[in-house]
Structure formats: C-alpha cells, structure tokens
Structure 1
C-alpha cells in the first residue's frame, strides 16, 4: 500500500506528468534516487500502469465527440461478445466500456463534422448487433478532464 510519500509523489506526477524526475523529486520532498525507486516499486505493483500521451482530437480536425450508451438484447447469449467484436472494427470508436445496470456498454466516437457523424451513425453504429436500446450524448464542452484527486 502506498505510504504518505508515495501519495505526495503521485499527486505531483498527476499535477505535472511532463515534469522531470528531478523536479518531481524536489516537489515531493524526496531525493531523485528515492523518487526513482518508489516509481519503480509503484510500477511493479501496478499502482502506476503506464505513462500515456493524450491526443487532442479537436486539434486534429475531429470536431464531433459522441458518447453512445447501449442496452443489449440479453436473450442472445453471445450478445456482448458479438457487439464488442463489431464495435472494435469501427475506426472512429476510441473507447469501449462495459457497465452494470440499465446501460450495458458505452462507446466514445469521434467524427470530423456533423455530416461525417451522420455517415458513421447510419453506416456503422446502426448496424451493430443485438442492440435493444441506445442513447447518444454529444460533447459540447469539457469542464474538467483530470486524473487528479485527493490522494
């Protein structure tokens, strides 16, 4: 279990993932060697799984972001597997999540513009198998997008 020092390091890492190890160590109040050892241990134990770059799709011209929620026909035993296999083949799907409750799955979908979204929806989304109900939420703005939390 991470101790108070590990939590300080994690807070600093989340606040500034691009900071050098020397700067992270200084901000967390540890030596560079101690920071390195602790980061290695947290990686080995799965506390830190990966350092990832995040793509700003809008900066690349993908202006439309839609969250689609699906309820599947649960009378079909292979509904989840077949739906997920088909959804993975849609290039504009950037994320697939499963849930417990009234919503079974959520897809994040990107499109260049509304005309492109309509084409994706008509040609790829409406053809996904075993859907009994769906709901679309179009992203208007992002107020907070952070991994930070009170550690």
Structure 2
C-alpha cells in the first residue's frame, strides 16, 4: 500500500465502483492520458493488487435471501486434516465465505440459501459431510447492515 500514490488509489476507487469503465473515461477521471493509466493498470495487475475483474451478482435477485453463519469445530487440526476440510468446503457452491479462526472454534462459514428448508438441506447433505467436523453452531442473519466490497484504499 505504501507504493500506491494518490492517482493509483483514485484508479482503484473508480474501478471498485465500475470495473467496466472505458480506459479513456478512467484516464479523464484521474487527469492523465490513456498511456500512463494503461501502464499503471498493468503495474497494479502485475503486482497482484488487482487480481481480476468480475461481475458481481445480486444474491437477493437470485433468490438467495437467507444468510447463515456456521461455526465449525474440528476433531483434528493437523495440516492434512485442514487441507482435506479446505478442499471439501471449496466444493460447496452455497459457501460464500469460509475462514479459519483462532479462537473457540476452528472455521466460520457464511452460507447463502433460498430459505430455512434449503439451508437445512445444505447442512444435512453438504456441511455435515465435511471431513473432521465434530460440531457446528449456527447463527441466522436477520438483516445486512453493511455489505460491500473492500473499499478502504
């Protein structure tokens, strides 16, 4: 982050808002010509700061209105077991996020589903089948207060 100047930060902020902005408009917005902006974009991509461009879908418009967080405790936390769990949880399309946690449990999973019945099906058929799980605790989100892409540039 320390190698990013004000123009790089402005480029990133604009791309977060609209990754499909034409290069000419992006250049105009940051006060440079197309060539230096293209060079900056290439540098940001090659450095790994920009890792890609993608469409952001609305889970609500797709009918995935039910958000649930699942705490997972493991029976084995050796590397082989963690890798097996990680590989398996990545195969579940309803898993929106999964983090290894330092604390009273081992993983936290964020799931999106259509409703409680769909969630119960995911738990019974997919989450409970994950390797090395000893227990889970479930928390249903009632309302999204903040949902955003990372924007603190």
* Fold shared by both chains (TM-score > 0.5): yes
TM-score (norm 2): 0.81
C-alpha contact (below 8 Å) 1:63/1:111 kept by paired residues? yes
Q: Secondary structure at the match of 1:57?
A: coil
Change (3 A) 1:31 1:81: same
Q: Which consecutive unaligned segments of at least 5 residues does structure 2 have? A: none
Structure 1 residue 76: deviation in Å?
Answer: 5.9
State yes or no: 1:147 paired with 2:150: yes
- Answer with 20-29 or 86-95: which moved more: 86-95
Partner Cα separation in structure 2 for residue 15 and residue 57 of structure 1: 18
Which runs of structure 2 are paired with 1:4-15 in the superposition (5 Å)?
4-15=6-17
- Give the total of aligned pairs: 150
1:51 — aligned with what? Answer: 53
Partner Cα separation in structure 2 for residue 89 and residue 18 of structure 1: 29
Q: Secondary structure at the match of 1:60?
A: coil
Q: Which consecutive unaligned segments of at least 5 residues does structure 1 have? A: none
Structure 1 residue 122: deviation in Å?
Answer: 2.1
1:114 — aligned with what? Answer: 116
TM-score (norm 1): 0.81
Q: Secondary structure at the match of 2:103?
A: coil
Q: CA RMSD of the aligned region, Å?
A: 2.3
